[in-house]
A and B are shown apart, each in its own frame.
Chain A
Amino acid sequence: MSLRSQLLKGVLEGCILAIIHQQPTYGYELSVKLQEFGLSDVSEGSIYPLLLRLQKEQLIQGTMQHSEVGPKRKYYHLTDEGKGALKQFIMQWESIKLPVDSILKKGGTLS
């Protein structure tokens, strides 16, 4: 896997953890929220392999629950380990966000 897609996957995983942390979410709802935040470049289906991996790593847990309308859906919520992973992701993100931004501002304007 290329470094670029690994970076994207890592960031996407962090975002998924953050959204699920706000409230229990099901797959389609999650993809809509990611799009609303502007991550429309990510193909919608790519969240499902990630959700499976996060479950395997026991960062999130899915349970089939009745939704307000319609049939039963699989809602995801964070486990304690998931909360820890989210905290770590936020810390790592904060530590590279500013440096990367300022590097790009100084040397990265291409036009």
Chain B
Amino acid sequence: MNAKDILKINNRLREKLTEENKKIYEDMLVYIRTNTNKSEQQTEEVLLELLEHFVAAQSEGKSAHDIFGDNIKQYCDEIIEEIPGEKKSVSLVFGAYLLINLLGIMSLTYGTLGFFFNNVFHMGSNDVEISLGSAIVNILIDLFLIYCFVKLILKWIKSSTFNEKVKKKWVEFLQIWIVCTLFIGIMVMINVFMPTFGLEMRIPVILFAGIGFILLIISWVLNKKYRITK
């Protein structure tokens, strides 16, 4: 049974918990799920087991602490430690999917907007000059930045669990705003200050749209075949 199907059962079964228990369980769920490099299948299987146990114990009048001990966060750490790592082949397909999908979106957006602006508003030109070396380095740095950004967000989500003290909404907003601004700023800066080197090429802007479209189709097929997101 696929992890995505188990996840759906989990979503339905969770509604059987009382408000208070649901809040505790969802903290556990987020805390355990936001670990990268752990087997998704095993993670979802153990999460469903914990939920079933919780639902059954709840009907007998037991509390979360009766089941999971005094320190629930520490209990979750014990669980996480025992979940095996993701298989190399699964990680590889997932990484390839993300990469192809991201490049597809970027290329399609760039190509379509460029073509549109050029032909409707007569801005820019129909051909783009590209230095292959700096373009590749640029993309690699962007990918690395996005990777850091995602890790940071996951860490941030994980740290938001099991907190009795709730942060003020505007403080949270300001923090996210600063991080996102910094992140986008660095990406733009790198693009601006990157020296040009490597093979110079002139590529018609519409070609970007075409390549992007093909990449998106490939990523769509990958997703269908390996059930990456659904």
Assuming the A-B contacts A46-B69, A49-B82, A52-B83, are A73 and B52 also in contact, with contact meaning beta carbons closer than 8 angstroms in the complex?
A: yes
The main secondary structure of chain B at its interface with chain A is: helix
The answer to the question of B13 belonging to the interface, with a C-beta cut-off of 8 Å to chain A, is: yes
The answer to the question of B164 belonging to the interface, with a C-beta cut-off of 8 Å to chain A, is: no
The answer to the question of B222 belonging to the interface, with a C-beta cut-off of 8 Å to chain A, is: no
Which residues of chain A (66-97) have a CB below 8 Å from chain B?
Answer: 71-74
Task: List the A side residues contacting B198 at CB < 8 Å.
Answer: none
Partner of B42 from A26, A52, A64 at Cβ < 8 Å: A52
The main secondary structure of chain A at its interface with chain B is: helix
Number of residues on chain A facing chain B (CB within 8 A) = 21
Q: Which residue of B lies closest to A45 (CB)?
A: B68
Distance A51 CA – B42 CA, assembled complex (angstroms): 11
Partner of B67 from A45, A55, A72 at Cβ < 8 Å: A45
Distance A73 CA – B49 CA, assembled complex (angstroms): 8
Assuming the A-B contacts A27-B53, A49-B82, are A72 and B9 also in contact, with contact meaning beta carbons closer than 8 angstroms in the complex?
A: yes
Nearest chain A CB to B73's CB is how many angstroms away? 13
Partner of A52 from B56, B66, B79 at Cβ < 8 Å: B79
Interface centre among A27, A51, A52, A62 (most CB of B within 10 A): A52
Distance A44 CA – B42 CA, assembled complex (angstroms): 20
Assuming the A-B contacts A27-B53, A31-B53, are A45 and B45 also in contact, with contact meaning beta carbons closer than 8 angstroms in the complex?
A: no
Task: List the A side residues contacting B79 at CB < 8 Å.
Answer: 48-49, 52
Task: List the A side residues contacting B57 at CB < 8 Å.
Answer: 28, 44
Which residues of chain B (1-41) have a CB below 8 Å from chain A?
Answer: 1, 6, 9, 13
